[in-house]
Homo-oligomer: A and B are copies of this chain.
């Protein structure tokens, strides 16, 4: 099993990526990890690394603010493009990148192609829930102007993921909406509601954004614009609250002492609200297994993404999706 990591992508690259890769390589000696990037920079960082980690040189890198399609087309020897191409050529089973999300999606789509039967891939992160089970959101930003049939395909893919990877029996599929009543929402959700209702999925109806972290369903489907707003609002709110809390905890000697006493609990809380603990976002619907780690991934986030990658390969997640989509469209059940 070969796991490629875009060593140059992400806010803390290559340091975090290399450190995370080393941690993962130590934990999973049966996995081969390939760090894709500038050999001159990476080699010195690997002096203490275990043997199951190696470098694949790539001379360029795609920056966070580059225009995706242009960047992917022009920078053929970037760490990201080389990594995705390795998956396409079966030199790696999966590629993990914490780099430019748009470029990564573009590269995955252009280089590895779509799974047959899927019109649009979906960026599918798992977001935190109070019970730590996590909820999958698709699409969180791959496809901006989605049609109802895309959302139905997201639901089918999310269902497979929740069942096979998360181990949920008859996953509850929810449609992100502004209210729970059937007739709520915009043209897209109203039409999608009908498609999901007629499908063989365990569709539980509309779900409101404020209830998602309460784990009211296992999979949330939505257009990429709304999903992105949802995801980034969660992130921003959690970050703001943490920073307000930090301010209060350092305000007086008493509060500093109290914060010290609470440290284990605060650490648990932080971990529970931390996306990276739930792994990266799978780009569902493309042929190669492509995992998008958060831009600000620390070594632990990369380490967890490698664990997740291993699981995806073992369970043949893309094979499952391809078969399910064909069955569903074949027997007209959905």
Q: Is the CB of A233 within 8 A of B244?
A: no
Partner of A262, one of B130, B178, B179, B258: B258
Query: Is A235 close to B, CB under 8 A?
Result: yes
User: Which of chain B's residues have a CB closer than 8 A to the CB of A212?
Assistant: 233, 236
- A273 to B236 alpha-carbon distance, docked (Å): 13
Indicate whether A141 reaches chain B with its CB closer than 8 angstroms. Answer: yes
Write the A221-239 contact mask toward B (1 if CB under 8 angstroms, else 0). Answer: 0011110111111111111
**How far is A236 from B234 in the complex, measured between Cα atoms in Å?**
8
With a cutoff of 8 Å between Cβ atoms, the chain B residues found around residue A258 in the complex are 257-259, 261-262
**Which residue of the partner chain, among B208, B225, B243, B273, contacts A185 with CB atoms under 8 Å?**
B225
Q: Which residues of A contact B (CB under 8 A)?
A: 65, 67, 102, 130, 141, 144-145, 176, 178-179, 181, 183, 185-187, 189, 208-214, 223-226, 228-241, 243-245, 248-249, 251, 254-255, 257-259, 261-262, 265-266, 268-269, 272-273
For the A-B complex with A233-B237, A248-B269 known, give 9 more contacts whose Cβ atoms are closer than 8 Å: A130-B240, A144-B186, A209-B228, A210-B233, A212-B236, A229-B229, A237-B237, A237-B241, A251-B265
